[in-house]
Amino acid sequence: MNFELTVLPVLDISGDLEVIIVVDANLKHRFVQDKKLLTKAGFSCKQDETCLLVEKNRLYVGATSLKSSDIRRAAANAIKRLMGTTYKSVKVATYTNKGCTYTLRAMVEGFILGGYSFETYKSKKNESKIKEISISLEEYSELDIDIEKASLLVHKAQITADATNFTRDIVNTTPDDCYPDVMASIAEGMAEDTGLKCTILKSKELKEEKMETLLAVARASRHKPRVIHLTHKPKNAKVKVTLVGKGLTYDSGGLSLKPADYMVTMKSDKSGGSAVMGIMKAVAELKLPIEVHGFVGAVENMIGGDAYKPDDVLVAKNGKTIEIRNTDAEGRLVLADVLCYAQQEVKADYIFDFATLTGASVVAVGHYTSSVMGNNKEVQNLVVKEAQNAGELATALDFNDYLKKTIKSEIADICNISDTRYGGAITAGQFLSEFVDKRHADKWAHIDIAGPAFVEHAWGENPHGASGAGVRMMVKLIENLVRKTDSNN
């Protein structure tokens, strides 16, 4: 999708079709030229509702307000409505929230995110045919918009949304086509394109690094595990951020096998690692002046004669012993070792991990929201705030001492599952906290994306399947860290 910005009014620019966002049901706005027809067609201006007037070459879409999240969704649904049509180019005006141009960024993100479809396995493709989008700087409230500022925002939106779609593609790819070595190759290819450094740890290095819990989870699979380390290291960077992602290319549950219905969609258990790859892509393309490291534990959790077992005791990289009582709680084992490795390699100012870690997170907060945990309320709140700014839903879940006691073990330092079925997202987070060293304890947040990472219906600007959860929130957070450090200097 190409975007072109122009100062000409919408009327004077070309495009096969005009998209008009009807804000707050205001059909009297000067952008709405077809009030009578829209009323006749029963268009009630609800958020995301569309009305295509073919003979007028105009598509109307409703938005509750000028808030970025509403405009992003509206733009996405407008483009979705055009799937299967033959329109190739679109023109649209600029909508800002009282001059705040973030809404322009949101609109462009919406067009790219809404235009996404995963067609790899379809014989007959139904991809969006819209290739050109012309944006007039004629503004909804007749405000003047600086074209340079606007074009920078369009550029940032393109990078962020393309990175989200990159993540979606990896997650949607089937386990037979995307196993750990393939994930590593995708990372290497992306690093080559963007100028990131990429190091891949294979079995030999993983043994040398004593990543025995990760290796145990991987053991029964014919696909060997990989740990991916991507580095973005600009000169004179003042802040260091470490990202860690769970990259289970398939989670069968292992010997504590998942029931059939729950195993379907477990190709999405690589969403955390895929998000880290998407974030790294965006950070490199945006050339952010912050040092960012992305670590991905890419592993397949399978059954077999040499599978790790409930009753095993494993030793993690930091020397802690873990009693295994359920092999389906494998993500925390992989992350334990990758977190230790990441902290050994980089002394960071912030460390964020992304994982489809627990079904309990989905039970607690629903399908559309990520759970944010950690030892430090400020860091937790920072993630929640930036997620919301970026158009993702996230909420904080707090640790407590009583739940911490439920992951005690009689025979090892810690158990990989809790002795209660309640509070499972939190106990999983508290398990991870055992592998975050003192130096990083207050700089760490764990983001359980099990809910939004993969949803089997379209929602908001997201399609059926992978959403790319985590990418937009973290790109925004890192961008704002740049701003904060700039203003401190």
Q: Which residues bind ligand BES (CB under 6 A)?
A: 251, 269, 326, 328-331, 356-360, 362, 417, 424, 450
Pick from 175, 245, 297, 331 the residue near Zn ion by CB under 5 A.
Answer: 331
Q: Which tokens in the block code for residue 353?
A: 């991990």
Out of 238, 258, 325, 385, the active site residue is: 258
Residue pair 278/469 in contact by the 8 Å Cβ criterion: no
Q: Which stretch binds Zn ion (CB under 5 A): 82-90, 200-208, 321-329, 432-440?
A: 321-329
Decide if residue 269 touches Zn ion (CB under 5 A): yes
> Where do the H-state alpha helices sit in 173-251?
180-194, 203-208, 212-218
CB of 362 vs ligand BES, minimal distance in Å: 6
21 vs 73: CA distance, rounded Å: 11
Which CB, 166 or 250, lies closer to Zn ion?
250
Q: Which tokens in the block code for residue 277?
A: 């790859």
Residue pair 281/274 in contact by the 8 Å Cβ criterion: no
- DSSP letter at 100 equals B
92 — phi, psi (to 5°)? -155, 155
Which CB, 251 or 392, lies closer to Zn ion?
251
Active site residue 258: yes
CB of 282 vs ligand BES, minimal distance in Å: 24
CB of 432 vs ligand BES, minimal distance in Å: 13
Which CB, 262 or 400, lies closer to Zn ion?
262
Which CB, 15 or 272, lies closer to ligand BES?
272
CB of 125 vs ligand BES, minimal distance in Å: 29
Decide if residue 300 touches Zn ion (CB under 5 A): no
User: Read out DSSP for 392-433?
Assistant: -EEEE----HHHHHTT--SSSSEESS-SSSTTHHHHHHHHHH
Q: Which residue in 67, 164, 159, 146 sits closest to 106, CA to CA?
A: 67
Which CB, 251 or 353, lies closer to Zn ion?
251
Which CB, 143 or 264, lies closer to ligand BES?
264
Q: Which tokens in the block code for residue 34?
A: 């077809």
Out of 332, 443, 472, 476, the active site residue is: 332
464 vs 263: CA distance, rounded Å: 17
CB of 447 vs ligand BES, minimal distance in Å: 13
3-state secondary structure of 232: strand
300 vs 180: CA distance, rounded Å: 7
Sheet bearing 393-396, strands edge to edge: 197-201, 226-232, 291-301, 240-251, 350-355, 444-448, 369-374, 393-396
CB of 322 vs ligand BES, minimal distance in Å: 13
Q: Which stretch binds Zn ion (CB under 5 A): 159-167, 183-191, 331-339, 422-430?
A: 331-339
The item of ligand BES, Zn ion, none sharing an interface with residue 291, based on CB under 5 to 8 Å by kind, is none
For tokens 């940032």, name the residue.
156
The item of ligand BES, Zn ion, none sharing an interface with residue 159, based on CB under 5 to 8 Å by kind, is none
Decide if residue 291 touches Zn ion (CB under 5 A): no
Decide if residue 328 touches Zn ion (CB under 5 A): yes
Q: Which stretch binds Zn ion (CB under 5 A): 150-158, 172-180, 242-250, 359-367?
A: 242-250
307 — phi, psi (to 5°)? -65, 150
Number of residues in the chain: 489
Pick from 251, 353, 386, 392 the residue near Zn ion by CB under 5 A.
Answer: 251
CB of 216 vs Zn ion, minimal distance in Å: 14
CA distances from 63 to 75, 122, 470, 473 (A): 9, 32, 24, 22
421 vs 223: CA distance, rounded Å: 32
Decide if residue 448 touches Zn ion (CB under 5 A): no
Which CB, 331 or 429, lies closer to Zn ion?
331
The item of Zn ion, ligand BES, none sharing an interface with residue 327, based on CB under 5 to 8 Å by kind, is none
Residues designated as active site: 258, 332
Q: Which residues are near Zn ion by CB under 5 A?
A: 248, 251, 269, 328, 330-331
